[in-house]
Amino acid sequence: MIFVLANIVQPFVDAAEAVIKFFHNQAGFSWGLSIIALTFTVRLLVLPLSIRGIKSMRHMQLVAPELKEVQEKYKDDRERQQREMMALYKKHGVNPLASCFPFLLQIPFFIAVYSLLRGDTFQTDVTQSGDPTNFLGVSSILEVPTGAEKWVLIILFLTTTAATFIYTTATTQTTSGAQRYIFLALPVLFAPIIARQPAGLAIYWIATNVWSLGQQVVVQRLIPAPTPPAPEEKVKTKAPPPPPPRKRKRRR
């Protein structure tokens, strides 16, 4: 099982190493800035999927009132509730998991950066280069941060993670249960892992959160969230019933 997983992740590890070394060797970036450049490159590649997912979330917000009615109507029959919800998604052309795909695609690269920082070959290349990280006061991307640099990373990590968590919570209130749990659970699961790993992984996570927040602010301006019609408005805009047919007078 581990061997199969390693084979699946290895292409992502190779790609991550190639990108980081390109920015360090060719562009002259420090190792820390090279990891940030890798992060932005990955996010840029999945940007079309991200925009598509955001549009899907916007559609979900319009469907939310009807979805709530279905959930309330069939709250005692889960199977029927799921069928009716899927029918509603199909009717409006909404994929409730579309906005999860860009986020899930980042997981292999997260694992790739972790593997890379633990790999002997990459560690040797970083050590032999003699170049300091020169980012946020971190002396080495390979070591678990200590002292002042540890606190700097912890504060940035907590701030960006909390900001992303709060924003995600506020913007996914109308999404399905599975999608909402994925958005909210992954940062919580990753937090204790990153705290005990090399500084490079924390830099990657912080850069990911910064990109996410910036992207959300820009998208909020370009693709603002629609306002679902209130129940009163639906009643007002409801078409009036057709007039009753006129009775024909009988000719004498």
Residue with tokens 């790739």: 112
Q: Which of helix, strand or coil describes residue 245?
A: coil
Q: Which of helix, strand or coil describes residue 138?
A: strand
What pLDDT shows up at residue 238?
47
Q: What are phi and psi of 29, to 5 degrees?
A: -75, 155
The token duo for 189 is 């699961």
The secondary structure of 177-192 as a DSSP string is HHHHHHHHHHHHHHHH
Q: Which of helix, strand or coil describes residue 194?
A: helix
What pLDDT shows up at residue 174?
47
β-partners of residue 138 are: 135
Q: How many CB atoms lie within 10 A of CB 196?
A: 8
Quote the CA–CA distance of 190 and 61 in Å, as a whole number: 28
Q: How many CB atoms lie within 10 A of CB 56?
A: 20
Give the start-to-end residue ranges of the domains of the chain.
7-225
Quote the CA–CA distance of 80 and 61 in Å, as a whole number: 22
Write out the chain's pLDDT in tens, 252 residues: 444 455 678 889 999 999 999 999 999 898 889 999 999 999 998 888 888 777 777 777 777 788 888 888 888 878 888 888 888 888 877 777 766 677 777 788 888 998 999 888 998 988 888 776 666 677 788 888 777 777 777 788 778 777 776 766 665 554 555 556 666 666 667 667 777 888 888 888 888 888 888 887 787 777 666 665 555 544 444 445 555 556 555 555
Quote the CA–CA distance of 53 and 211 in Å, as a whole number: 16
The token duo for 25 is 């060797």
Q: What is the pLDDT of the chain when averaged over all its residues?
A: 76
